[in-house]
Amino acid sequence: MNSEFINEKNLKIWPKLGMRAAFGLMALELAKNDKEMIVLTGDVSTSAGLDRFKKQYPSKYLDVGIAEQNLLGIAAGLSSEGFNVLTTTFAPFQTMRCCEQIKVNLGYMKQKVCMVGLASGLVLGTLGFTHCCIEDIGVLRSIPNLNIISPADTGELAKALITNYKSKNSTYIRLSGSSNIAQIYHKDYNFEIGKSITLKKGNDVAIFATGTMVGVALKCSEILSARNISCEVINFHTIKPIDIDKIKECSKRFKMIATIEEHNIIGGLGSAVSEGLSSLSNSPKQVFFGINDTYGDGGEYQYLLKKFNLDPEYISKSITEKFKNL
């Protein structure tokens, strides 16, 4: 698959648009070179940035309406006929509403589909927790034959979409954040499913982050550096398969590992890392930052991030206190 559209200009523009709008532009680029590509949505063409796509490629676009179980069933059928299928709708409906179809058609029957979950985490908090999605990683991580990718920025979303073509498994790509997200990557780079990326070297604490929390982790590392705590920041863009080699490496080099995710602390990145550490002797202390197994009232995105202690100031303060007590 041609990746020429991943260039410095687009890498700079896409983060301003946010994950959803950038996804729509990327779908246009992918369709240029993929005769077998088809995009299925559940009444979310505008929310997914696909209005231009459906006008330019009407034969490659199918809106099934608000019927997400049908969305996955049709997608699996098209995959069995040789189509390269992308499905997209809001993350809670893309994952939990049609979980049985994902299990049977994608996990068990191994029909390959790339699912793009829009607006995961807390970003739709003004609509209440019916539209927030803090469980999707935990739900899907237990289904075999499924990759789970949570891109750090829009450039990494493009890398995930292209790399999906090389995988024999279905893939769930979890989009987080709003518009004007942090730009993590400024030029093209090597991306591999299941291989984390070290963004900043350090000596005292390893910070593992996923999704747009990677930007938060980098801010934390700056705050902690001023407090003479050296942090290594690692982007775990793939939660399944988890990069067990990196977990083992860090367990030998650090006395503390912090995991940051916009997800329930049960079942997500922190849990996957903890499972990896459990088989090792002399594992380092692990500190979890995420939503502490609860729901709550709705609200604006930044308000909810602070409410659930996912802001750089709180995380940095907590890491400082725990590091001093080692």
CATH topology (fold) of 8-174: Rossmann fold (3.40.50)
Kindly provide the residue ranges of all beta strands, DSSP E only, lying in 159-284, ordered along the sequence.
170-174, 197-200, 205-209, 231-235, 238-240, 256-264
Cβ proximity of 138 and 172 under 8 Å: no
List the chain domain ranges.
8-174, 197-324
Q: The CATH number of 197-324 is which of 3.40.50.920, 3.30.910.20, 2.60.120.1440, 3.40.50.300?
A: 3.40.50.920
Which run of H or E residues covers position 103?
none
Per-residue confidence at 281, pLDDT binned at 50, 70, 90?
Answer: confident
Amino acid at 24: G
In tens, the pLDDT along 225-261 reads 999 999 999 999 999 999 999 999 999 999 999 999 9
In tens, the pLDDT along 188-214 reads 999 999 999 999 999 999 999 999 999
Residue 129 above 90 pLDDT? yes
Predicted local confidence at residue 300, as pLDDT: 97
**C-alpha atoms less than 13 angstroms from C-alpha of 37 in its C-beta half-sphere:** 22
What is the arithmetic mean of pLDDT over 34-56? 96
